[in-house]
Amino acid sequence: MKSKEFVLHNGVIVPHPGFGTCKIPEEEVCGAVLRALEAGYRHFDTASFYGSESGLGEALRKSGLAREEVFIASKVWNTERGYERTRAAFAASLERMGLDYLDLYLIHWPANKKQFGDGAEALNAETWRALEDLYEEGIVRAIGVSNFLPHHLEGLLKTARICPMVNQVECHPGWLQFPVLEYCREHGIVVEAWSPLGRRAALDHPVIRDVAQRTGLTTAQVCLAWLRGHGVLPLPKAADPSRMEENLREEGMLDEKDMRAIDALAPMWLCSDPDMVDF
Q: Which residues are catalytic?
A: 50
How far is Cα 210 from Cα 190, in angstroms, rounded to an integer?
29
Q: Mutual orientation of helices 150-157 and 120-136 as an angle, nearest 10°? A: 70
In DSSP notation, 170-232 reads E-BTTB--HHHHHHHHHTTPEEEEESTT-HHHHHT-HHHHHHHHHHT--HHHHHHHHHHHTT-
- Containing H/E element for 128? helix 120-136
- Containing H/E element for 4? strand 4-7
- The region, left, alpha or beta by phi > 0 then psi within -120 to 50, assigned to residue 207 is alpha
CB 74 within 8 A of CB 102: yes
CB 55 within 8 A of CB 22: no
HSE value, Cβ hemisphere, 13 Å, CA-based, for 96: 20
Q: Residue 113: how many CB atoms within 10 A of its CB? A: 12
Measured at the alpha carbon of residue 34, what is the angle toward residues 74 and 37, in degrees to the nearest 5? Answer: 80
Is 108 labelled a binding residue? yes
The number of angstroms, rounded, from the C-alpha of 91 to the middle of its chain's C-alpha atoms is 20
20: exposed, middle or buried (Cβ count in 10 Å: 0-12, 13-18, 19+): buried
How far is Cα 259 from Cα 252, in angstroms, rounded to an integer?
13
Tell me the binding residues: 108
Tell me the binding residues for substrate: 108
